Structure 1
Amino acid sequence: MTRSIPSLAFGLLLVSTALSPALSRDATLAQARGTAPSASQILARVQVAQADRTAPAADPQTSGARTDGVRQSSQTQVGSRQPTGAFPTNEISRQPVIDLGAGEDGMKKDVAALQQTLTELQQLQLQTKQAHWNASGTLYYPLHLLLQEHYEGLSKYADTIAERLLAVGASADGRANTIVRTSGVPEIPGGFLDDAQILAWFTNAYKRVGEEVNAAIKATEKVDPTTSNLLQEVEHGIAKYQWQMRAQLQRTGTDPNTGWDLNDNKPIDLQGQPGTGQNPGQSQNPAQNKP
């Protein structure tokens, strides 16, 4: 028993080290675009992302150094004879597949639209689970449950899109580096996340992804109607999730609902919804606010 206590303490120390938060990327969404991205813009971004790029070397003085105790504890080498390839890599099958009848250019558009949608769905999956674990504040419990529901729904949509890629004769790329390098949605901040922050972040993230999926629908509606129809199902789900987030901050005729009560007595900043500047205790009737 005397020997087991130091061993247990050492094990807990290793786990603690492994769970140290990594340096977070800038999670502030860019200013929302006035219009949805065009199909050509989506395709161009995917084609650029498909160029083989070398990942920057990890800085040993930052997050990697803090996990060395666990990360370097195994001497097992992981490798493959097959090269890593570009991010994303969508290999085309040489086996007989159902011809889309759209030619090589049509196939490229189809695969690009499906792959980019898959990447964004996976990115949202990761962020919903991160927020699900770390949600804090008054709305912790309902957001905890809602985010789990969204995670499961996004997982099903991602699986459907990946399987469609395989059905049309291309491999699906769900690798972590593909998500990091090609997603248009930035990382959510690390650490505990307050409820107001979660509502604002997902309202805008779902809006962005919904607009990208809409562009993918238009890019594929002529070359592959089946893919376009599947993407419409995804867009429907994303729009529903976006509504479920923004509804919690939806203004009504009886409540300006700026989120003062959730956000340290300051209105929650939603793109396209400027704050009213109204204090929580103020009435909407100016006459009632006179001293």
Structure 2
Amino acid sequence: MSTSPDILQDFGSLANVRIGLSAEVRAQGVHALNRLLAHTMAIRDAYKKAHWQTSGATFHQLHLLFDKHYGEQVLIMDAIAERVQTLGGVTFALAQDVVDESSIARAPRGRESALAQLSRLLDAHETILLEARPLARAAAEMGDDGSNDLIVSQVVRSNELQSWFIGEHLAAQSGKAQ
């Protein structure tokens, strides 16, 4: 238990919630979803950085696209965090959590070209998708239909669509099809 009287629930512990899933299934779901949450926080931040620092001939359309995708990632992030709480877990919430957990590459501090921004975002989407699909299957196999539905309907579908948009912009920027 926590050494601080202000901590209501230690990270890594499970609250006793009655949602028809065993503690083992809920613990596995919390771990998997927190990893997806860290990735989602990382890509959200990458989109905001790109939004603030985009430049060039496609500035306006990329500026708007990056902000739109940022907002969509915020919604996904919130849905994942709520699912973690529903399972009785404690969510990642801090920048250090993202650094410790996500394998999405951090962008440099400097301003990048539109091509570099688009490529970095496309790589980030692929990281999320490569991890999300097996996690969705595992959730389904364990009977965690709520987590499976969230991962498939929000994480996978949204990241696939955003990846497609980014890939199309990347193809236009580089002058070749993806």
- Asked if Structure 1 and Structure 2 have the same fold, meaning a TM-score greater than 0.5 normalized by the shorter chain, the answer is yes
1:110 Cα shift? Answer: 1.0
What is aligned with 1:90?
A: 12
Give the unaligned 5+ runs of structure 1.
1-79, 251-256, 261-266, 274-291
Distance 1:173 1:258 in 2: 35
1:164 Cα shift? Answer: 0.8
Residue 245 (structure 1) aligned with residue 160 (structure 2): no
CA root-mean-square deviation: 2.4
Distance 1:258 1:144 in 2: 14
Deviations 1:132-170 (A, max 9, x none): 101112211111100000010000011011001111111
Distance 1:113 1:167 in 2: 14
Give the unaligned 5+ runs of structure 2.
none
Residue 215 (structure 1) aligned with residue 134 (structure 2): yes
What is aligned with 1:151?
A: 70
* Secondary structure of 1:136 counterpart: coil
Residue 127 (structure 1) aligned with residue 46 (structure 2): yes
Structure with greater helix share of residues: 2
Residue 139 (structure 1) aligned with residue 58 (structure 2): yes
Alignment length (residue pairs): 172
What is aligned with 2:103?
A: 184
Match of 2:34 among 106, 115, 124: 115
Distance 1:151 1:116 in 2: 18
What is aligned with 2:174?
A: 259
* Secondary structure of 1:144 counterpart: helix
Which letter does structure 2 place at the counterpart of 1:230?
Answer: L
1:201 Cα shift? Answer: 1.2
What fraction of aligned residue pairs are identical, expressed as a percent? Answer: 23
Larger Rg: 1
1:217 Cα shift? Answer: 0.6
Which letter does structure 2 place at the counterpart of 1:163?
Answer: E
1:91 Cα shift? Answer: 2.8
Which letter does structure 2 place at the counterpart of 1:187?
Answer: R
1:108 Cα shift? Answer: 2.4
1:199 Cα shift? Answer: 1.5
TM-score by length of 1: 0.54
Note if contact 1:132-1:144 (Cα within 8 Å) is conserved in structure 2: yes
Note if contact 2:51-2:63 (Cα within 8 Å) is conserved in structure 1: yes
What is aligned with 2:145?
A: 225
* Secondary structure of 2:19 counterpart: coil
Higher RCO by CA contacts (8 Å cutoff, separation 6 or greater) = 2
